[in-house]
Structure 1
């Protein structure tokens, strides 16, 4: 299970998984965290004690991504066998199994009203599929990208931003699938994206070791962040909109100003290996970071900045 370490001055650590953790996400109310990975399970646990609450065994293969529904009642989780499971967060009961993808489903995201899900496929179908969350009715498929890594619904409008193994991010109408703009600021695969909480900007990061912030309406680059020394695999915007945290193969968690790109904190001691997922608590005071078999909870003292 987890280490009984309450979040305080230093980082707490959850060690309930038996293999590498690829995804971590706070619940909308901040009372629970869900994490999943190579042990084929999703764990729900208490961030104040690192005590496990529930284990979901509904995946036959490695869990790649997960997302809480906006009301916190459900979780959508995806795996390497092409399945997306929608299930109750309190009981683990499966509501629906979506089978539209062929193989790796690297990304899942809920619409802001909690009725639809976007899921992105890697090897096999190279597409984002949009479908109804509770009955799996397929609405449309958005193609044109090779090996989709991220597909995120805008928090305030019916738009989706998706990134891939190519060097671009596409933004499109979530209702119709109609293409709106393409961001071409990167020079390699784009592994991670994050919408600003107000939906006006997008942060993207990837193989070129850079993170960019750009205008979601016209694709204009607003800020370029160059402090990482290796591939960036994860990026997350604080819910208050003020900060970004990014991490990846250099094992260093960094926090920086979302307006200026100024580095505020570089934390190299939390993890010894690649960091694969990041998530802020809803009140922007704690960062969860996943690497190997553990998740660290790192208190963020916003008042210092």
Structure 2
């Protein structure tokens, strides 16, 4: 399992699988046990001819996009949380020449950015599929993250070149470059509020948190988390930005603090038992989901701040 995304309302999870499928999972509450949440599979989709690497919901929760090894990005519409599986309503974007590893929506939901092993990043219209901008970077691009408001015209991207680039979506010019990692960049996550922080997960075994606009972040990043024993493949902020969850090839998910006095200290550790490829925090902060090489999704109660 390579990708997991919660719907903005937290009622659904969609996962990208190693075996070319995408699965939608419903979450629901028992009225007789309001503090308990249940998770159950809803639908499975077979739109790709190879592994699906990433999946994401539109900000308004009405559409889902996913990207795969077969070079395409698929967009489907969603009505009241139920995917409308009418092939006439599906948009397929085929602008890349190699596997597409990462995909993300713009904060206003009008555009999608996709990143590929072909060394290109494309921004395209989420309704028509028209390519609006193409940016070239060295190496394979494995991670891309669109900045939330108020910096919604900026994107962070990284991959095998080991550097993270912050750049402008209007013309593609680079705003800042972060080069403190010594291994491939597998994942990136912007903090969700007004603070301009990015967490980057790397094959060097670290997660590093830094200011996206500090030209000297390489020398004075905010913190470097070294709790994992192997490559870190995924990183996600808690909604209140006080903690980060990271998943690693070492088979664990770590929850750690980003504020004093817990700065960079592990607060919870989950033994998953198989290489963790993706972690995702629920929008209300109550749950964390992880996906592993064994194709199993694990969901558990997030620790209280």
Paired position in structure 2 for 1:238: 282
Whether the 8 Å contact between 2:205 and 2:232 is mirrored in structure 1 is: yes
Match among 115, 119, 123 for residue 82 of structure 1: 119
Paired position in structure 2 for 1:13: 44
2: CA distance between counterparts of 1:134 and 1:35? 23
- Decide whether aligned partners of structure 1 residues 259 and 6 sit closer, same or farther in structure 2, where only a CA change above 3 A counts: closer
Name structure 2 gaps, 5 residues minimum: 1-20, 28-39
Structure 1 position 7, deviation (Å): 6.6
Give the SS at the match of 2:209: strand
Paired position in structure 1 for 2:295: 251
Paired position in structure 2 for 1:120: 158
Match among 205, 213, 222 for residue 180 of structure 1: 222
Whether the 8 Å contact between 2:25 and 2:41 is mirrored in structure 1 is: no
Q: RMSD of aligned C-alpha atoms?
A: 2.1
2: CA distance between counterparts of 1:74 and 1:240? 25
- Decide whether aligned partners of structure 1 residues 59 and 162 sit closer, same or farther in structure 2, where only a CA change above 3 A counts: same
Match among 141, 159, 168 for residue 177 of structure 2: 141
2: CA distance between counterparts of 1:200 and 1:6? 27
Structure 1 position 50, deviation (Å): 3.1
Match among 72, 87, 90 for residue 109 of structure 2: 72
Deviations 1:160-196 (A, max 9, x none): 0001111111000011152111011111100110111
2: CA distance between counterparts of 1:141 and 1:10? 41
Match among 70, 81, 84 for residue 39 of structure 1: 70
Structure 1 position 13, deviation (Å): 1.1
Paired position in structure 2 for 1:108: 144
Moved over 4 A (4+): 5-9
User: Matched residue pairs, number?
Assistant: 255
Relative contact order (C-alpha < 8 Å, sep 6+): which is higher?
1
- Report the TM-score when normalising by structure 1: 0.79
Structure 1 position 23, deviation (Å): 0.7
Whether the 8 Å contact between 1:78 and 1:106 is mirrored in structure 2 is: yes
2: CA distance between counterparts of 1:24 and 1:208? 23
Whether the 8 Å contact between 1:213 and 1:222 is mirrored in structure 2 is: yes
Paired position in structure 2 for 1:206: 248
- Decide whether aligned partners of structure 1 residues 46 and 222 sit closer, same or farther in structure 2, where only a CA change above 3 A counts: same
2: CA distance between counterparts of 1:50 and 1:212? 36
Superposed, 1:158-177 pairs within 5 Å as 158-177=196-215
Whether the 8 Å contact between 1:150 and 1:192 is mirrored in structure 2 is: yes
